Amino acid sequence: MAPSSIPASQRIQLQLRAAEPRRRQKYRSIKEIMRVAKRVVLLESDDGDQSDGGGGGDYYSRVACEQCGSGERADELLLCDRCDRGYHMLCVRPIVARVPIGLWFCPACSDNKNRPIKSFSQKKIVDFFRIQKSEEADGKCASIQEVNKKRRRRASTLVFHKKRRRLLAYVPLEDPERRLIQMASLASALTAQHMEFSNQLTYMPNMAPLSANQAIFENGGMQVLSKEDTETLEQCRAMQTRGEYPPLIVTFDSCEGYTVEADGPIKDMTLIAEYTGDVDYIKNREQDDCDSLMTLLLTADPSDSLIVCPDKRGNIARFISGINNHTVEGRKKQNVKCVRYNVGGACHVLLVATRDISKGERLYYDYNGYEHEYPTHNFV
């Protein structure tokens, strides 16, 4: 309708209505709604059959483990947040050591997420590990072997003192292409776990400060890393900044999850890695579902004890498997030990080879080196 066809009086009324302020609609409170709402009574079926899952509690009371078929030990029964299938924490592979805090997906639903499928170019690897270029990188592998030989010869001449086994620096592979493949496997595993690479202990806000990590607080004292072994540790750290890492590769096993294998021969007493991650108080992580917490400092006052938490930051030590220390066969697998040292007044955790390790051999150490609280009796 054209504006000219509307009577003048009607146009005035429309203008007045438009000029009036709009009244705010008042909504009833939830209390008022519930006061007048009708009650609803749910009628249960005689046979109690609610196979479509709509019954809620009845369905979950009948859930059984997909692996062992038992519905017992309900406190250990996990339900997949995608398919609602149940698995006991120690029946599923890889096992779940602690009840997850957030969402949890069974192997069938998370299989595609947990495999290291991401590829990395050389430039991305350099950026991921923050590798520093050095003109002195050439010929370092040979010099490391010479240093280790000299140390062994020197130690053999000490006849007036008890022979002490010294740490050896690892020998990276000479093939640069193979070293890139090794680093790419670690980068893929860290990325899949939503972790950042860190080769040192990190102190984050709202966690334990750097001042809390003092070896003098250790209850009963802590072994001091000798001057020669400290030089070995610094030598390994310098090699890593140049992209020269130990001959290790990360693989995914459907039964054990991410594991670490030797990609070259490793000598006995070789320093493999330092266990790194965020440093926090044990009391702050009592309900943490991270399965790789590592003891760092045990004080007389438990509230001051520290752990390493590699859930957001860490290195290859995060993926080394644990042994089943309840069986003889499980203990035979161990080829790495975890040792805590006083390094410059602070506590550090080092992983050291306990024997010669051949290429292709999987790395294992005892998760319960200091405390026997980790459930390893279901480890493969």
Distance of CA 20 to the CA centre of its chain: 63
Task: Calculate mean pLDDT across residues 75-88.
Answer: 88
Whether the predicted pLDDT of 9 surpasses 80: no
pLDDT at position 118: 61
Rounded to whole angstroms, the Cα distance separating 242 from 234 reads 13
Rounded to whole angstroms, the Cα distance separating 332 from 270 reads 19
Task: Calculate mean pLDDT across residues 285-306.
Answer: 87
Write the secondary structure of 232-277 as one string of H (helix), E (strand) and C (coil). Answer: HHHHHHHHHHCCCCCCEEEEEECCCEEEEEECCCECCCEEEEECCC
Residue 287 buriedness (CB in 10 A; 0-12 / 13-18 / 19+): exposed
Most confident residue range from 94-98, 363-367, 376-380 = 363-367
Whether the predicted pLDDT of 162 surpasses 80: no
Whether the predicted pLDDT of 23 surpasses 70: no
Residue 289 buriedness (CB in 10 A; 0-12 / 13-18 / 19+): middle
251 has which bridge partners?
A: 259
Rounded to whole angstroms, the Cα distance separating 167 from 187 reads 27
Pairing relation of β-strands 346-353 and 270-274? antiparallel
pLDDT at position 256: 79
Higher-pLDDT residue of 303 and 97 is 303
pLDDT at position 172: 96
Residues 6+ away with beta carbon under 8 Å from 313: 195, 196, 197, 198, 202, 276, 277, 278
pLDDT at position 360: 95
Helices (runs of H) and strands (runs of E) counted in the chain:
9, 15
pLDDT at position 343: 97
Pairing relation of β-strands 278-281 and 364-365? unpaired
Higher-pLDDT residue of 101 and 379 is 101
Coil, strand or helix at 47: coil
81 has which bridge partners?
A: none
Q: How confident is the model at residue 50 (pLDDT cuts 50, 70, 90)?
A: very low
pLDDT at position 143: 55
Task: Calculate mean pLDDT across residues 171-194.
Answer: 93
Query: What one-character DSSP code corresponds to residue 170?
Result: -
pLDDT digits (tens, 9 = 90+) for 136-148: 444 444 455 555 5
Supply 359's token pair. Answer: 């290429």
Give the rounded percent of residues in the chain with a pLDDT score beyond 70.
Answer: 71
Whether the predicted pLDDT of 235 surpasses 70: yes
Mean pLDDT over the full length of the chain? 80
Whether the predicted pLDDT of 73 surpasses 70: yes
Q: How confident is the model at residue 379 (pLDDT cuts 50, 70, 90)?
A: low
Supply 325's token pair. Answer: 């220390």
Query: What one-character DSSP code corresponds to residue 374?
Result: S
Rounded to whole angstroms, the Cα distance separating 157 from 148 reads 15
Q: How confident is the model at residue 190 (pLDDT cuts 50, 70, 90)?
A: very high
pLDDT at position 21: 59
Q: Which of 34-48, 93-107, 184-198, 294-308 shows the lowest mean pLDDT across its residues? A: 34-48
Task: Give which of 81, 84, 46, 42 is closest to 62, Cα–Cα.
Answer: 84
Whether the predicted pLDDT of 302 surpasses 50: yes
Higher-pLDDT residue of 159 and 193 is 193
Rounded to whole angstroms, the Cα distance separating 77 from 84 reads 11
Task: Give the helix ranges, DSSP H, for the chain.
Answer: 8-19, 30-36, 57-61, 107-114, 122-128, 140-156, 176-192, 227-241, 328-332
Whether the predicted pLDDT of 156 surpasses 70: no
Residues 6+ away with beta carbon under 8 Å from 112: none
pLDDT at position 93: 78
Higher-pLDDT residue of 78 and 274 is 274
Whether the predicted pLDDT of 222 surpasses 70: yes
Do the beta carbons of residue 138 and residue 116 sit within 8 Å?
A: no
Coil, strand or helix at 179: helix
Coil, strand or helix at 81: coil
